[in-house]
Copies of this chain bind each other. A is one copy, B any other.
Amino acid sequence: MPGEFELIARHFAALTGRRADVVLGVGDDAALLDLPPGQELVATVDTLALGVHFFADCPPAALGHKALAVNLSDLAAMGAGPAWALLALTLPAADDAWLARFAAGFAALARSFDVSLVGGDTCRGPLAVTITALGHVPRGQALRRSGARAGDGVYVSGEIGAAGLAVRARRGEITLPAALATHAARRLDYPQPRVALGLALRGLASAAIDVSDGLLADLGHICASSGVGARLELARLPLPDGALAVATRESLVGSGDDYELCFTVPPRHEPALGALAASVGCALTCIGRIEAAPGLWLVDEAGQTRPAAQGGHDHFR
């Protein structure tokens, strides 16, 4: 079995191409990186751990993809362009074939967004992947959670709920029709970070967050940070085909792992969203509106309004 340093050198070298702004990459005590002038550095870290964030049968390539994707999704929610990543990998054993597939999944996504791997660490233990993603945004132009104002439209990209359905199906709680099962598994294992959308929303959105804990919980974070409330119309939720045959809108609005963007847009900018959706190639759906008074309200299909039960993932509950 090859040693740690060889493992890192072999598989990390294959992980991704090298950007011109990487002055010094993997192989020294630290990486040296060139941030373009006029930009703020954007930094985030997320861990995916076996049994908490993914199942034992998660394909290694999917894990490599997803561990990077969830971090790029955080950068997207800030309106930042991704640039560099650092990878801390805990493995039960140095399995060369496993690492090759993990690296392939990571590298494919990294290349598609021109992200360079610039640092790494490995150690032995229960499977877990911690990635730090670094990017940048022109000074003062980042999207924050705190800018939502009463009257702003509440939007979500793509569709909501498929990843949560896949989780419930893998736990044996529900059975999905074949087409939905395939679609949902793909959404759970290979989430696509909305990087282009995040960049395009700069100057338009008043607040943004990525949908990781569940749409309702994440919109709750925007409201809490902004000191506002929101009214969500369940009938407007963009759902996967066939989802309502196996789940309620109420459950889908609380399921996580979608990695779409939820964002708010002042009325004067809302007319621009049609062209923007076309240019970035994903649906943007208005699902509600921000209100001055704190509190999250759900309007059901019958037009009845009621307070939303707060929820979301919480690994320590």
Assess the B45–A87 pair: CB atoms within 8 A: yes
Q: Is A169 an interface residue (CB 8 A)?
A: no
What per-residue 1/0 map shows which CB atoms of A240-265 lie under 8 Å from chain B?
00000000000000000000000000
Q: Which of B46, B119, B145, B314 contacts A4 (CB 8 A)?
A: B314
Which listed segment binds B: A129-137, A155-163, A290-298? A129-137
Contact B78–A30 (Cβ < 8 Å) = yes
Q: Does A142 contact B (CB under 8 A)?
A: yes
- List, in ascending order, chain B residues with CB within 8 A of A43's CB: 30-31, 33, 84, 86, 118-119, 132, 134
The reply to whether A74 and B29 contact each other, CB–CB distance below 8 Å, is yes
Flag whether A179 is at the interface (Cβ < 8 A). Answer: no
A88–B88 Cα distance when bound, in Å, is 10
Q: Is residue A27 contacting chain B, with contact meaning CB distance below 8 A? A: yes
Among A49-57, A100-108, A278-286, the one that faces the other chain is A49-57
A171: B residues at CB distance < 8 A: none
Q: Choose among B29, B33, B41, B126 the residue that contacts A126 (Cβ–Cβ < 8 A).
A: B126
Q: In residues 16-45 of chain A, which contact B (Cβ within 8 Å)?
A: 23-24, 27-35, 37, 40-45
A47 at the interface (CB under 8 A from B): yes
Q: Are A119 and B44 in contact (CB under 8 A)?
A: yes
Set of chain B residues within 8 Å of A84, measured between Cβ atoms? 43
Residues of B within 8 A of A86 (CB): 43-45, 132
Closest to A126 in B: B126
Decide: B45 and A41 in contact? CB cutoff 8 A: no
Whether B1 pairs with A317 at a CB distance below 8 angstroms is yes
Residue of B nearest to A76 (CB): B29
- How many copies the complex holds: the figure is 2
What's the minimum C-beta distance from A118 to chain B, rounded to whole angstroms? 6
- Contact A123 B45, CB 8 Å, known A88-B88, A144-B28, A314-B4: no
- By beta carbon, the residue of chain B nearest A74 is B29
Chain B residues closer than 8 Å to A210, beta-carbon distance: 29
- In the complex, how many angstroms separate the beta carbon of A37 from the nearest chain B beta carbon? 7
- CB contacts (< 8 Å) of A94 on chain B: these are 316
Q: A43-B33, A80-B30 are in contact. Are A1 and B126 (CB under 8 A)?
A: no
Contact indicator B314/A49 (Cβ below 8 Å): no
Cα distance A124–B1 in the bound complex, in angstroms: 30
A41's partner among B27, B35, B315 (CB-CB below 8 A) is B35
In the assembled complex, the Cα of A88 lies from the Cα of B45 at a distance in Å of 7
| Contact of A225 (CB < 8 Å), options: B7, B27, B74, B146 | B27
12 contacts between A and B (CB under 8 A): A1-B316, A3-B314, A4-B317, A30-B44, A30-B135, A31-B43, A32-B142, A41-B41, A43-B118, A45-B86, A49-B90, A121-B130
List 10 tightest A-B contacts by C-beta distance, closest first.
A30-B44, A29-B77, A132-B132, A94-B316, A33-B41, A45-B86, A29-B74, A88-B130, A130-B130, A3-B314
